[in-house]
Homo-oligomer: A and B are copies of this chain.
C-alpha cells in the first residue's frame, strides 16, 4: 500500500496511527498541499477531492477520506480491532470520531483559515478566536462523552477509531495555543495514547517530510 499524505495534515496523521496500530507496512508518499503538489498530473484520486490522505491499494485502487480509509483497514485487517464488538459501542466510537471529523476539524483546517484571512480579511486575533471557538466546542463535547464513561482510552481499554481522530486534534489545538485545562479526561486519554509506540511513530515530527 501507498499513503499519499503530509506530516502536518491531521487527516493523514489519523490514517498513519491506524496503519501503525495494525502493524501494516506502507510506502510514505509526501505531498505538500500548501505547495500544490497534490495537483500534479496522474494523481487522479487526489485530483477528485484535492485533499490528502489517499491510500493506494496494491491493485492501484485509491481510497479517500480518513475515516473511510480507517474503517477499510479495520475490515480487511481485523487485528487489533479499532471498533468495539457491540453495535451500540461501535455507534459511540463512530460518534466520537465524527465529533472531531465533522463538528471540529473542518472549521479549522488550512484552507478555511486561508479563506478567513484572504477573502474575509480577518485579522490574526479574530482568526485565532475562531479557531479556539470551534475547537473548544468540539473538545468540550468530547470531554462530556468521556466523563460519562471514563476508561483508559476514548472507549474502553484498547485504542479505537476515536483515538485515531482525537490525538491529531489535540496536537493541532496545542499548536494554536488553545487552553485545554478544562479537559482532564480528554488529556488523560491523549497521554495514554501517546505512551503507545504506534501513536509516537505516526506523529508529525516522526515523518520524513516534517519541517519544524
Contacts and interface: CB of A to CB of B under 8 A. Distances in A.
A180 interface: no
Contacts of A69: 91, 95
Interface stretch (A47-55, A166-174, A201-209): A47-55
Tell which of A57, A68, A75, A148 has the most Cβ of chain B within 10 Å: A68
Interface in A100-135: 101-103, 105-107, 112, 115-116, 119-120, 122, 126, 129-130, 133
A90 B65 CA distance: 12
A50 B94 contact: no
A90 B68 CA distance: 8
A145 B50 CA distance: 12
Nearest to A55: B91
B49 A71 contact: no
Contacts of A158: none
B115 A91 contact: no
A99 B65 contact: yes
Nearest to A87: B75
